[in-house]
Amino acid sequence: MKNIYKNSQSNLSKAKRILSKNNVIAVPTETVYGLAANAYSSKSVKKIYKMKKRPRKNPLIIHYHNLKDLKKDAYLDEKFFKLYKKFSPGPLTYIVRKKENSKISSIANSNLKTVAIRFPRNKIIKELLRSLKFPLAIPSANISSAVSPVSSNDVLDEFSDKINFILDGGISRIGLESTVINLCGKTQILRPGAISQKQISKVLKKKISVSKETTIIKSPGQLKKHYSPGIPIKLNCKRADNKAAFIVFGKKYKNNNKNIFNLSRRGNLEEAARKLYKTLRKIKNLGFKEINVVKIPNNKIGIAINDRLKKAAY
């Protein structure tokens, strides 16, 4: 397919060349697909904001291959190292203090004193990062406030021919964005994800809370409207309204009505997480005008699923 490039040495080199010229490409990660640009170049980073129509005050996550490179850009403390040892590389993003002499473009972190950083686990993005002399700013590859992509075709669905290089990595294994944890000031989860509050609390030997939305927006990802498929969503439904698409979960829902979309027949929350964005995108593209969703269990990654659904429904 046009603009989609399979994982191969020559395509990785091509990706590297485009990035080194301060242009933007789409890349796979284990959470969702992202738009990648040289984090040390304001020119590159500006292109991301423009493509995504993202407000400049919403900072990006900087992705690294190794700790040595990160140490030049950020101050790291004991809590960071404990979590890093357990969860990185993987779907955890840390908010840490940016070094004054860091080369990260201040546009990438919206001129804040802090910066979001992550070590992705997906092999393809890891190999690409390893070959570069700079870290990559990688927000999810969707137009601001829309649903994140979990495949190359989803990225095309978002940007069509506005993106001319998508590195293909199949379907994202997790399907929801990384957990974001604030390590500056109050240690708190700003965005739930595959790494749960419980797992983090256990490592830090301290109960870590998930931030409730307040008037002070600590993470613009907490902005209320987000992850939106562009049609109304109603949550905690027992049955669907006439003509609405009905998102369900578990074996109770056997009948295969065309309007029923089961996130996981076996009632597995990880499978549901992986299928959520794909399902929202599909329903929208099928032309439904409304979505109803059953109650999804609020534990483990179900907490992240419910977080996204709540924001999508806002």
Number of CB atoms found within 10 A of residue 162's CB: 11
Say if CB 61 and CB 93 are below 8 A apart.
yes
Contact of residue 93 among ligand TXA, Mg ion, none (CB under 5-8 Å per partner type): ligand TXA
The reply to whether 211 sits near ligand TXA by the rule CB under 6 A is no
| Closest alpha carbon to 93 in 182, 173, 155, 209 | 182
Nearer to ligand TXA, 51 or 116 (CB): 116
According to DSSP, the β-strands at 136-137 and 114-118 are unpaired
Supply 39's token pair.
């984090």
Say if CB 233 and CB 312 are below 8 A apart.
yes
Say if CB 293 and CB 276 are below 8 A apart.
no
Nearer to ligand TXA, 240 or 273 (CB): 273
| Closest alpha carbon to 126 in 27, 41, 195, 19 | 27
Contact of residue 194 among Mg ion, ligand TXA, none (CB under 5-8 Å per partner type): none
- Interacting positions 25-54 with ligand TXA (CB under 6 A): 29, 31-32, 34
| CB 277, min distance to ligand TXA, A | 12
Site string for Mg ion, 42-61 (x = CB under 5 A): --------------------
Nearest-CB residue to ligand TXA? 221
- Interacting positions 73-102 with ligand TXA (CB under 6 A): 91, 93, 95
Residues touching ligand TXA, count (CB under 6 A):
30
Label residue 184 exposed, middle or buried (CB < 10 Å: 0-12, 13-18, 19+): middle
DSSP H or E stretch at residue 260:
strand 260-262
Query: Which residue among 3, 93, 114, 140 contacts Mg ion (CB under 5 A)?
Result: 140
Nearer to ligand TXA, 139 or 302 (CB): 139
- Interacting positions 143-202 with ligand TXA (CB under 6 A): 177-178, 180, 190-191
Residue with tokens 């040595």, as numbered in its chain: 68
Which residues in this chain contact ligand TXA in the complex, by CB under 6 A?
29, 31-32, 34, 58-61, 91, 93, 95, 109, 112, 114-116, 118, 120, 138-140, 177-178, 180, 190-191, 218-221
